[in-house]
Structure 1
């Protein structure tokens, strides 16, 4: 049995894939396996995976399947994984050669269900955009500890997979798998993890480089974006209700639903959205009257981010046309003035 199984779903990322695989191969003093799940790639990614597997047959396994999405791809990897721990890496990112050695040592020492560590966020080809993010949380040895500190935990990329190492026995015991939802399956997976989580190790060092690329799925128009995001918010709300903490975390529930409205607003102003201006206004008005008044307003009393504050104000006052104009202006400014926009992104972060 391996200490860890690195599972990497692969779909049309030939340009970045070698760096990601090399990061996995570079892990020091760790007996691990690398499972590359080619999810129907058409750009040469399949051939890159197979070339690495031929070079390192004892370490790398390739699974080829028809395109089903990253969730089913990760499930295929987990089904074959023999490691005591599971690590999910993205094929267009890279990470430190100490990631596994350091975090395995800590999580084994403390015998927890997962370990959470820091990361560096950056834009592709832009080293000046690097921002190190570290978890400022205590060690949590019980389910009670985790829920007590959940508010702070929530504010440190709770839905990311790549800044966590999962104990396979924990995932198997609780039958935790990915859904086939095309977007947000990482959020749904982690919400399921948090339902059962008993203990967490925190490592306040950064190991992973999360790289954002132009044309990523979150920046594209999707007809079904609202339904996908709403499913995440509902799942999060169900988690909190199951904990019997709906009153304590009503602001977090409201934040999840505001995120649904926020992302749908961005979706509506995307150049590829086929709706007329009036249809967009009607759509946003309808959503706010349903979700905004019932799910957001009762729990969301303040907003520190200036842009989100302005957007929330326009929606609360019924000025949905203004809200659409704000989002469109923001997106145009972000696209046109990338460098200066980076300097003030702490005020305009999604």
Structure 2
């Protein structure tokens, strides 16, 4: 009789100056109903009290918490550092100011095993600092637990590519890492991992609790937004060599959703006029190079619903003015 070794999950938690949130995050991980886990907590050069909190948890839960400390290198670098040291069969990522339900990794590992999936997805809810739910983000509505990608490849263009609400088979990272020194590293990498999958599994439970912080420095929107377009380019290069290379309609929809809509959602908050116009021009080039027409954008449906029509009025007006070439009017209104 062969004794099956239970599969292990490695959870990678990059930490940078989160002393007020870290305990809640780590509590949610050491209390997972899944016993066979390791939590790699990577202090990415914090200069607050985060290191002391990490050490407390490492002493209290030595069999689960694996502490590491490194020079500051950014989110991608810290995640990659964790990937190099993870010993699990599956990998999860949790941001250190967020937290998760205690059954998250048990349920997601069960789904991975049940459906032989290399990627499992759960829903996200945004919470405020008192734990009140402010928004529920359903990831894949109206689809079965096990999704065959060949037959449902619209998922490729419609999915939100967060790293943190997913469980990944470790082998997906054999040749791949998060790109360092860029913003939007998830949009750059996670679609590439999806292209390696034949199927994905999902749960409709809202396991991942994404904290909307009131104290975080308001992110200034700059030309860093151009990293979205670069991320899409990197995915395109991998797509062309992938098992799904012939699915050109879905690639175009990905270009529209991430390259046009996500980019414009970022561009709306760019303060500098010069940067705004420069980025707007680069988007127009991006569209021209890919033969993306205004009618393609207006027709784009996400999860079988027209995307533009599903948006709040203010966003609708912004997008429509942009597509009508009214950039100066947009700047005036803003």
- TM-score (norm: length of structure 1): 0.80
Once the two structures are superposed, residues 251-285 of structure 1 have per-residue CA deviations (whole angstroms, 9 ceiling, x without a partner) of 3312222135414523423xxxxx4x4x3564355
Once the two structures are superposed, residues 70-127 of structure 1 have per-residue CA deviations (whole angstroms, 9 ceiling, x without a partner) of 1111111111111111111111111111111222222122222121122222343362
Displacement of 1:160:
1.0
Q: How does 1:75-94 map to 2 (within 5 A)?
A: 75-94=80-99
What is aligned with 1:24? 29
In 2, Cα distance between the equivalents of 1:5 and 1:234? Answer: 30
What is aligned with 2:154? 151
What is aligned with 1:290? 285
Displacement of 1:248:
4.5
- TM-score (norm: length of structure 2): 0.83
What is aligned with 1:272? none
Displacement of 1:204:
2.2
What is aligned with 2:179? 179
SS at match of 1:53: helix
- Change beyond 3 A, Cα 1:285–1:94: closer
SS at match of 2:17: coil
What is aligned with 1:200? 200
- Change beyond 3 A, Cα 1:182–1:38: farther
32, 37, 41: which one aligns with 2:42:
37
* Paired residues, number: 313
- Change beyond 3 A, Cα 1:34–1:128: closer
- Change beyond 3 A, Cα 1:135–1:282: closer
Q: Find out whether 1:61 has 2:54 as its counterpart.
A: no
- Change beyond 3 A, Cα 1:204–1:286: closer
In 2, Cα distance between the equivalents of 1:76 and 1:280? Answer: 34
What is aligned with 1:227? 226
Q: Which runs of 5+ in 1 are unaligned?
A: 270-274, 329-350
Displacement of 1:292:
4.7
Q: Find out whether 1:161 has 2:167 as its counterpart.
A: no
Once the two structures are superposed, residues 123-167 of structure 1 have per-residue CA deviations (whole angstroms, 9 ceiling, x without a partner) of 4336252425253322447xxx3143232454342x111211111
Q: Tell whether the 8 Å contact from 2:156 to 2:254 is kept in structure 1 after alignment.
A: no
Q: Tell whether the 8 Å contact from 2:223 to 2:279 is kept in structure 1 after alignment.
A: no
49, 53, 64: which one aligns with 2:54:
49
Displacement of 1:287:
3.3
Q: How does 1:325-344 map to 2 (within 5 A)?
A: 325-326=332-333, 328=334
In 2, Cα distance between the equivalents of 1:244 and 1:70? Answer: 33
In 1, Cα distance between the equivalents of 2:329 and 2:166? Answer: 40
After TM superposition, the structure 1 stretch with the greater mean CA deviation from structure 2, 146-155 or 5-14, is 146-155
In 2, Cα distance between the equivalents of 1:135 and 1:75? Answer: 27
SS at match of 1:6: strand
Q: Tell whether the 8 Å contact from 2:157 to 2:253 is kept in structure 1 after alignment.
A: no
In 2, Cα distance between the equivalents of 1:21 and 1:46? Answer: 13
RMSD over equivalenced CA pairs, Å: 2.6
In 1, Cα distance between the equivalents of 2:318 and 2:221? Answer: 21
Displacement of 1:293:
4.7
Q: Which runs of 5+ in 2 are unaligned?
A: 300-307
Higher helix share: 1
